[in-house]
Structure formats: structure tokens, C-alpha cells
């Protein structure tokens, strides 16, 4: 059985370490995005992730890893019906989890009700590593339920789920960071992996660009399913959601209310 407190501490420690490292890099390097306006944006972004974490622990304390451990103990799920090599199952699980998150992200944009929840993430007026903390609690609960269902139905091992969760949260921080690879390196890297330059196109105020570059870890899915965009329509980019000003985008109560506001 997975040691859940140890698992949570490990993932939390890695997440915090990556976040601090990226914030230090952003402070030292000139990024491509507009000024971060940290004093206005960070309190709201940090408040959201703290609220999300508390709710997740209260409502779904076992999380995705705990659900995967239960499925493994019960012999439930597709993978548990086959005697596959552990390394092969582990690799397939990571790829399928990433594919599932890609389609979850597309669903958040395609279904108007879910877009209202996800819209909170897109209201940030510029991007830095803290933008990856900015998710409405109802979207967080939907995402947790989605991942739990997928992990249990496939019978994915707790170790694979834990590794994927670490990769997912770490990549989210990196791809939202106000950093950029040089073009000569960015182009070959984004053949396989999502880069900050690639993901920031998705945060454009242009609705058509918001329907591009849905990937979190692997860029393969955007290339394969026709949602890839190589560059933004205009530079510098404008970030956010039309109709949501800086005041609404930086107040916690306004962000919690955002899904219930008609846009």
C-alpha cells in the first residue's frame, strides 16, 4: 500500500522546489511576457492553490494515488487483467495519462459549463510560474474526479500515477513561467515536449488561439490531433479573457464568482 502522507510530502516538496527555482530564475532573467505585477497577482494565485489543496484533502483525501492503490489491491482495471512487464506497463500508463489530460483540457474549453470553471485560469493578465497555481476549486475537483476515474478503470499502478502527478505539476510550472528557450532550441524541443513559448500561445486573448496547444507534457497530441500552433498572431501577446479587467483578475472573491458571471 502506498504511504499517502509520504507521497503527499514528496510531491509537495518537489512542487515547492520547482516553483521556488523558477521564481528565482524569473527574477534574474528578462522574460518575454509583460511585467509580472507580482504584488497584485500573486496573492490571488497563491490563495487559490491553498484553497484547492485544503478542499482536495477534505473531500478526496486519498487522491488519485490512493484510488490507484485501491484498484490494484482489488485487481480492478484493464492493466490488472494482464501480466505485462512492469516497465512496459509503467511507460504505457504515463503516455495514456498524458493523453487523458490533453482531452480533459480540450473538454474544459469545448463544454461551456466547464469553460466557465477553466476561464478563471485564463483570466491572468500575464504569465509567470504562479499562473500554474490558478485554478478554480470546482475545476480542481472535476480534474481530480476525472483522473481518479481514468486511473481506476485502467488499473494504473500507484507508482505510475505518483510519477505522472509530479511530472504534470512540474511541467505546468515550467510551461507557464516567464522564461523562454532560444529559438534554435525551442523548435526541436517542442517536437516532443511542451515549451513555455508553445504554451503561452494558448493563453492569448484571441479565442482561436485559446483552442490551440492544449498539451501539458507531450506536444505529440497537439501535432496528432490538429490543435498545434507554431506562433501567435501578434507579438507581444495579450493575455487574459476579454471583459475581465485587472481588478477582477486579482481579487480572490471575484475569481471564485467568475464561473457564475455571464461573459
pLDDT for res 236: 78
Any residues with CB less than 8 A from the CB of 105 and at least 6 apart, and which? 214, 215, 216
* Domain range summary for the chain, segments of one domain joined by +: 4-21+38-260
pLDDT confidence bin for 213, thresholds 50/70/90 = very high
- 243: which residues sit within 8 A by CB, 6+ positions away? 263
Q: Quote the pLDDT of residue 237.
A: 87
Q: pLDDT tens for residues 138-153?
A: 999 999 999 999 999 9
Mean pLDDT over each residue of the chain, to the nearest integer: 94
Taking 60 as the threshold, does the pLDDT of residue 98 lie above it? yes
Q: Which residues, 6 or more positions from 191, have their beta carbon under 8 angstroms from its beta carbon? A: 219, 223
Q: Which of 29-33, 132-136, 149-153, 227-231 has the lowest mean pLDDT?
A: 29-33
Question: What's the pLDDT score for residue 263?
Answer: 82
Q: Check pLDDT > 50 for residue 260.
A: yes
Is pLDDT of 5 > 60? Answer: no
pLDDT class for 235, splitting at 50, 70, 90? Answer: confident
Cell 522564461 belongs to 179
CB count in 10 Å sphere of residue 225:
14
User: What percentage of the chain exceeds 70 in pLDDT?
Assistant: 98
pLDDT digits (tens, 9 = 90+) for 22-75: 999 999 998 999 988 999 999 999 999 999 999 999 998 889 999 999 999 999
Amino acid at each position: 500500500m502506498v504511504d499517502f502522507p509520504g507521497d503527499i510530502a514528496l510531491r509537495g516538496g518537489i512542487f515547492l522546489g520547482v516553483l521556488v527555482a523558477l521564481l528565482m530564475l524569473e527574477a534574474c532573467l528578462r522574460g518575454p511576457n509583460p511585467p509580472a505585477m507580482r504584488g497584485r497577482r500573486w496573492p490571488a494565485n497563491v490563495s487559490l492553490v491553498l484553497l484547492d489543496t485544503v478542499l482536495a484533502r477534505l473531500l478526496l483525501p486519498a487522491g488519485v494515488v490512493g484510488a490507484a492503490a485501491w484498484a490494484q489491491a482489488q485487481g480492478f482495471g484493464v492493466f490488472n487483467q494482464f501480466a505485462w512487464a512492469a516497465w512496459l506497463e509503467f511507460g504505457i500508463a504515463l503516455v495514456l495519462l498524458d493523453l487523458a489530460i490533453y482531452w480533459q483540457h480540450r473538454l474544459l474549453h469545448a463544454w461551456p459549463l466547464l469553460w466557465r470553471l477553466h476561464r478563471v485560469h485564463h483570466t491572468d493578465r500575464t504569465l509567470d510560474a504562479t499562473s500554474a497555481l490558478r485554478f478554480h476549486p470546482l475545476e480542481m475537483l472535476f480534474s481530480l474526479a476525472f483522473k481518479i476515474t481514468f486511473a481506476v478503470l485502467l488499473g494504473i499502478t500507484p507508482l505510475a500515477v505518483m510519477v505522472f502527478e509530479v511530472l504534470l505539476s512540474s511541467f505546468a510550472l515550467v510551461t507557464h513561467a516567464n522564461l523562454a528557450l532560444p529559438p534554435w532550441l525551442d523548435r526541436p524541443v517542442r517536437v516532443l515536449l511542451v515549451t513555455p513559448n508553445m504554451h503561452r500561445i494558448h493563453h492569448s486573448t484571441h479565442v482561436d488561439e485559446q483552442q490551440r496547444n492544449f498539451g501539458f507534457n507531450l506536444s505529440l497530441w497537439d501535432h496528432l490531433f490538429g490543435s498545434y500552433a507554431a506562433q501567435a498572431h501578434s507579438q507581444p501577446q495579450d493575455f487574459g479573457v476579454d471583459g475581465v479587467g485587472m481588478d477582477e483578475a486579482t481579487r480572490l472573491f471575484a475569481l471564485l464568482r467568475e464561473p457564475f458571471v455571464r461573459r
